[in-house]
Chain A
Amino acid sequence: EAQVTQNPRYLITVTGKKLTVTCSQNMNHEYMSWYRQDPGLGLRQIYYSMNVEVTDKGDVPEGYKVSRKEKRNFPLILESPSPNQTSLYFCASSSNGQPQHFGDGTRLSIL
C-alpha cells in the first residue's frame, strides 16, 4: 500500500530537548515536504526536498532542520524546541507534479 509514514504520532516534550520526527515514503517519490498546521493559519510549508541531498527552505523554516540522505526518508529535526513550535506536523511526498500524498500527522506539544 502506498503510504507516507510519520513517527511519532504524538509527542510531549520540554523546551530545549532535541527531537526528530521521522518521515518515510514507499512510492519512490523525488519530492518530499514538511508542513505545519495551526488553527487559523492553515498548512504552511517548513522545508522541502526535490531529491536526495537537495533541500531548501519553505515559508516558516526558523528553528527546524532537515536532511535527505536517502530517497525514502526525510526527517524533521528540532535542535532546541520552543513552545511556539507546538503544532500538528505533516510530511508529504509526490512525483512529477502529481498530487502530494500526506502522512497522518505528528502532534507535538512543547512545554
Chain B
Amino acid sequence: EDQVTQSPEALRLQEGESSSLNCSYTVSGLRGLFWYRQDPGKGPEFLFTLYSAGEEKEKERLKATLTKKESFLHITAPKPEDSATYLCAVQGPTGANSKLTFGKGITLSVRP
C-alpha cells in the first residue's frame, strides 16, 4: 500500500526565513510525485510533478526535489502570501486508476 508522510505538521517562519518541507513516501513503483498548495476554503492547486530521483523543479520561491525515498519543497525567502497548506501525493504504477495517495499536509505560516 502506498504511503506518504509529511513533516513537520506545521511550520511558522518569519518573512525571508528560508526552510524546507519534507515528504517521505513508499510506493511499489513511482509514476509521479505531486506537490499541491491548498488555501483555506479552496481545492488543492497543482504546483509540481516529479518523476524520477534527482529531478528538480522551480517556480518563483519554491523548488521541489526528489530522491528515491523522499521529496523536499524548499521555500526561499518566503513571503506572507506563501502561507498555505502544502500537500504531497504519490501516484503508483496501477494502470487502471490515476489515484493519488496524499500525505496529511504541512501548514505553513509566514509572519511579516
User: Helix, strand, loop or mixed for chain A's interface?
Assistant: strand
Quick check: which of A40-48, A64-72, A78-86 contacts chain B, the rest being far away? Answer: A40-48
Chain B residues within 8 Å of A40, by CB: 104
Contact with A along B81-112 (1 / 0, CB 8 A): 00000010100000011111011110000000
- Total interface residues on B, CB under 8 Å, equals 22
Task: Report, as a range, how many residues of chain A touch the other chain.
Answer: 20 to 34
In the complex, what's the smallest C-beta–C-beta distance from B40 to chain A, in angstroms? 10
Instruction: Name the residue on B nearest A9 (C-beta).
Output: B41
Contact with A along B32-43 (1 / 0, CB 8 A): 101010000111
Q: What is the CA–CA distance of A53 and B96 in the complex, to the nearest angstrom?
A: 14
The answer, yes or no, to whether A100 is at the interface (CB within 8 Å) is yes
Chain B residues within 8 Å of A105, by CB: 41-43
Given the contacts A43-B87, A50-B96, A101 and B46 also touching, CB distance less than 8 Å: yes
